[in-house]
Amino acid sequence: MTDYDAVIIGAGHNGLICASYLAKAGKNVLVLDARAEPGGCASSREFSPGFNVSDCAQWLSQLDRSIVKDLDLASAGLNLGQPKATISLQPDGNHLILDGDTISGAGIDSADQAAYRDFKSMVRSFAKLMTTLYRSRPPKLVEQNWTDRLTLMKLGLGLKLLGRERLRDLMRVVMINIYDVMNEHFSHAALKSTLALDAVTGTNMGPRSLIRSTAICMLLPGNIWHRLVQLRS
């Protein structure tokens, strides 16, 4: 083990990304995994003879484009297709369809359609701000170096550009659960449940769990360039 600068436990997509960045920095890295093949959630498996599917394809939009560029994943064969419409199946066959900024089916009225567009705009502004934090080292205030000062300045500017109303929304949204957020913005049950799923995907908690609304923003840094506040079909 002394021959390695770092040992990564788990050859899933997160482990492989960490190992790749360390290797780019000139480190000697060992990656270990219990499975016979790497990839984790990003790997593919045959579910029927001749048919393969990604283990967690619905989370693909969380892959940050900056990582794709840094690691030159396109040259390794990564080819992202166009986002598909989200379909929430309904018992009566009149299914709810989310496609870009539009929603249709399931008896969605004009009020919820307008609320959906406003909600996407709101969360898009939150996600843009959070991307600044997501891609930066947390500032160390005690050191007072210019890198940390610049990070704080960017954050402060981002908060300022949100505007008073959006800033108030952000402070309120991050402190309540996604169940309450959905009830504040929408009236249609199918629309609320479809959007709320993003906030609990990958957790063992439900929509009424405390402070789960932040998850729908945390999922968005990659979604800014792919599809915002939509579920992957």
Is pLDDT larger for residue 78 or for residue 17?
A: 17
d(CA 103, CA 121): 15
Q: What is the pTM of this model?
A: 0.74
Instruction: Reply yes or no on whether the pLDDT at 220 is more than 50.
Output: no
Instruction: Reply yes or no on whether the pLDDT at 58 is more than 70.
Output: no
Q: Can you give the residue ranges of every domain in the chain?
A: 6-76, 86-223
CA dihedral of residues 81, 229, 223, 94 (deg, nearest 10): 0
For 170-204, the pLDDT digits (tens) are 888 777 888 888 999 999 999 999 888 877 776 77
Strands (E), 75-224: 86-88, 96-99, 102-104
| pLDDT value of position 133 | 75
For 69-126, the pLDDT digits (tens) are 999 999 988 887 777 788 899 999 999 998 888 899 999 999 999 999 998 888 888 8
> Residue 45 in 3-state DSSP?
strand
Instruction: Reply yes or no on whether the pLDDT at 218 is more than 70.
Output: no
Instruction: Reply yes or no on whether the pLDDT at 227 is more than 60.
Output: no
Q: What is the number of H-type helices and E-type strands within the chain?
A: 8, 7
Task: Look over the chain and give the mean of its residue pLDDT values, rounded to a whole number.
Answer: 81
State in Å, rounded, how far the first CA of the chain is from the last one: 43
Query: Strand 29-32 to strand 6-9: parallel, antiparallel, or no bridges (unpaired)?
Result: parallel
